[in-house]
Amino acid sequence: MLLPIVLAGGSGSRLWPLSRQLNPKQFLPLAGSYTLLQDTINRLEGLAHEQPWLICNEEHRFLAAEQLRQLGLESSRIFLEPQGRNTAPAIAIAALQVLAEGEDRLLLVLPADHVIRDKQTFHAAIKKAISLAHTGKLVAFGVIPDSAETGYGYIQRGMELGQDGFVINCFAEKPNQETAQYYVDSNEYLWNSGMYLFKASRYLEELRRFHPAMVEICQNALQNSQQDADFIRVSPNIFISCPSDSIDYAVMEKTDCAAVVPLNAGWSDVGSWSALWDISEKNAEGNVLQGDAVTEGISNTLVRAEHRLVAVVGVENLIIVETKDAVLVVHKDHVQDVRKVVEKIKTDGRHEHISHREVYRPWGVYDSIDYGARYQVKRITVNPGAKLSVQMHYHRAEHWIVVSGTAKVTRGKDSFIITENQSTYIPVGEIHALENPGKVPLELIEVQSGSYLGEDDIVRLEDLYGRL
């Protein structure tokens, strides 16, 4: 039976301002009502497989856990990387865990941020890959190209392996336009999708051939891991010393056991706003309109309005994206340069690349409504039964006003209930906690005031979510 290994790292900076460091594209509903991560898991329905294992960054653990919970997959394992080390070590962690449990399984490695429209064709390709993997092959899935795309790596297929796939002759880096056109015209090259299938033991055998130190470090990091609720935390002190390398560079380009199965299933890595426009449903003028958008005389344009009315007149071939704290306007020919804007935002010391105005936490969400030099106003939603950490602040006081629901407040040695239209005050340095004991969401307004209002002025004394 297949064991899906879903790789949910990455930042998706080319899809800013929707994709941010703390809420990247794999956790966003870009191509439907489900997030890309959830779609990755949902399209496995119909295959014989075990519950997926997820590998993600430490800072995304609660997003990942909540999205799995929404799919009824609370018991799925989530491996946390303290720092990203690319795909080769991440897959090694999963393979080592499989062998440690005494069963050599077939691993289906899937990035969490892709779109595949034709599920049945995808399943048929997986079945071919299973056949090849049983012979000891390390199988890549190569997408049959429909254009001379310069944003993807390519795989040159060689000799046929029966009716299931092909030997891989070589991997090719992202080409220039002329080379990409040659690849497409030759009918020998496929886009490298980043999806793989192989036995856990075979992957580790080949990785040990070429990078024995990487395997040793991953094994030590896993052996010294800690189980925390839904999460398996590999040892940060050990894992951080692991070389960073992709599975392609570390194994697939070196091994003589690589094979490729062609795939023609409506695949996209949703790597840019123009790629999202390509796969989205369009009106007669070629426009993709999402949210509260009013247009006049526009064509071949994507307008995504997240929170307010966006009016667009007399333009073509643009991407326009509005969020609570940022607006992006870019020509479709320049969408790859969005990452340069993100780099400039970082260089300028701003924060819009890190998180949205609305920030998700394991207990709920907060929205920074307004701020000034010595104050900040937040709208806070606490899920039923959830509790914020027991904490204190050195530099700020807080006023809480309940809008709806019931709040259980701990302030110093006192504990009391406040409800709709009631409020309380938390002085600077006072130990406090907030809890929703009710069965409906708790909504409140928090007014912070003080000399420093950063999120790092939180001293946690107790926490249900392992954040001490």
CA distances to 40, 126, 179 from 115, in Å: 8, 16, 26
Identify the domain boundary among 223, 250, 268.
268
Which contiguous run of DSSP H or E holds residue 222? helix 212-223
Task: Give the CA-trace dihedral at 8, 279, 324, 316, to 10 degrees.
Answer: 150
Domain boundary among 248, 268, 288: 268
Assigned domain for 353 exists: no
- If asked whether residues 253 and 319 sit together in one domain, one would say no
Rounded distance, CA 264 to CA 203, Å? 25
pLDDT in tens, the chain (468 residues): 899 999 998 888 999 999 999 999 999 999 999 999 999 999 999 999 999 999 999 989 989 999 999 999 988 899 999 988 999 999 999 999 999 999 899 999 999 999 999 999 999 999 999 999 999 999 999 999 999 998 899 999 999 999 999 999 999 999 999 999 999 999 999 999 999 999 999 999 999 999 999 999 999 999 999 988 779 999 999 999 999 999 999 999 999 999 999 999 999 999 999 999 999 999 999 999 999 999 999 999 999 999 999 999 999 999 999 999 999 999 999 999 999 999 999 999 998 999 898 888 889 999 999 999 999 999 999 999 999 999 999 999 999 999 999 999 999 999 999 999 999 999 999 999 999 999 999 999 999 999 999 888 999 999 888 777
Quick one: pLDDT at residue 75?
82
The answer as to whether 468 is a domain residue is no
Rounded-to-integer distance, Cα 91 and Cα 218, Å:
10
Tell me which residue range forms the domain holding 255: 2-268
Indicate if 231 and 301 belong to the same structural domain: no
Domain assignment present for 352: no
The total domain count for the chain is: 3
The span from the CA of 22 to the CA of 17, in Å, is: 12
Choose among 396, 371, 392: nearest CA to 449: 396
Is residue 213 located within the same domain as residue 195? yes
CB atoms within 10 A of CB 299: 16
Q: Is 242 within a domain?
A: yes
In a domain, 49, yes or no: yes
- Residues 166, 120, single domain; the answer is yes
pLDDT value at residue 161: 95
pLDDT at 74: 85
Strands 364-371 and 358-361 turn out to be antiparallel
**Are 52 and 116 in the same domain?**
yes
Classify residue 443: in a domain, yes or no.
yes
Host H or E run for residue 259: strand 258-263
Closest CA to 275 of 19, 34, 7: 19
Write the single-letter amino acid at 119.
K
Same domain for 169 and 232, yes or no, is yes
Domain co-membership, 340 together with 367:
no
Q: How many CA atoms lie within 13 A of 54 on its CB side?
A: 31
**Pair (396, 433) in one structural domain:** yes
Q: Tell whether omega for the bond before 17 is within 30 degrees of 0, i.e. cis.
A: yes
Identify whether residues 378 and 417 lie together within a single domain.
Answer: yes
User: Which CATH number covers residue 368?
Assistant: 2.60.120.10
**Quick one: 301 and 191 in the same domain?**
no
Q: Do residues 342 and 326 lie in contact, with contact meaning Cβ atoms separated by under 8 Å?
A: no
Which pairing describes strands 396-404 and 423-426: parallel, antiparallel, or unpaired?
antiparallel
> Based on the domain organization, do 312 and 328 belong to the same domain?
yes
Q: Helix (H, G, I), strand (E, B), or coil: what is residue 197?
A: strand
Using alpha carbons, select from 260, 133, 111 the residue that is nearest to residue 190.
260
Indicate whether 57 belongs to any domain: yes
CATH number, domain with residue 202: 3.90.550.10
> Taking the mean position of all CA atoms in its chain, how far away is CA 358?
17
Among the three residues 316, 344, 372, which one is the final residue of a domain in this structure? 344
Does 91 share its domain with 239? Answer: yes
**Is residue 121 in a domain?**
yes
- pTM of the full predicted structure? 0.90
